Amino acid sequence: MQPYFSIFSIDIPAFGTMMILGGSLGAILAVLRAPKTNIPRQDTLLAFLLGAIGIIVGAKLLYTIVDIGRLWELRHLLWEDTGTYLKMIFGGGLVFYGGLIGGIAAVFIYCKAFKTPFSFLEIMDLYAPSIALMHAVGRVGCFLAGCCYGMHVEGRFGVVFRNSLGAPNGVPLLPIQLIESGLNIILCAALVLYARKKRTKGRVIGLYLVIYAVMRFTLEFFRGDAIRGFVLGLSTSQFISVLLLPIGIFLLVWKMRSPARENEERE
List the chain domain ranges.
Answer: 4-202
The whole-model pTM stands at 0.87
Task: Measure the CA angle with vertex 90, ends 88 and 95; round to 5°.
Answer: 100
The pLDDT-based confidence of 44 (bands split at 50, 70, 90) is very high
Mean pLDDT of 50-55: 95
Tens of pLDDT along 54-98?
999 999 888 888 777 777 777 777 777 777 767 666 666 778 999
Rg of the chain in Å (alpha carbons): 20
The pLDDT-based confidence of 1 (bands split at 50, 70, 90) is low
Task: Of 110, 112, 113, give the one whose Cα is nearest residue 102.
Answer: 110
pLDDT at 172 (0 to 100): 93
Tens of pLDDT along 112-165?
999 999 999 999 999 999 999 999 999 999 999 888 899 999 878 889 988 787
Average pLDDT over the chain, rounded to an integer: 87
CB 30 within 8 A of CB 36: no
Provide the b/e sequence for 52-81 (b: ≥16 CB within 10 Å).
bebbbbbbbbbbbebbeeebeeeeebeeee
Task: Of 241, 219, 223, 246, give the one whose Cα is nearest residue 231.
Answer: 241
CB 211 within 8 A of CB 263: no
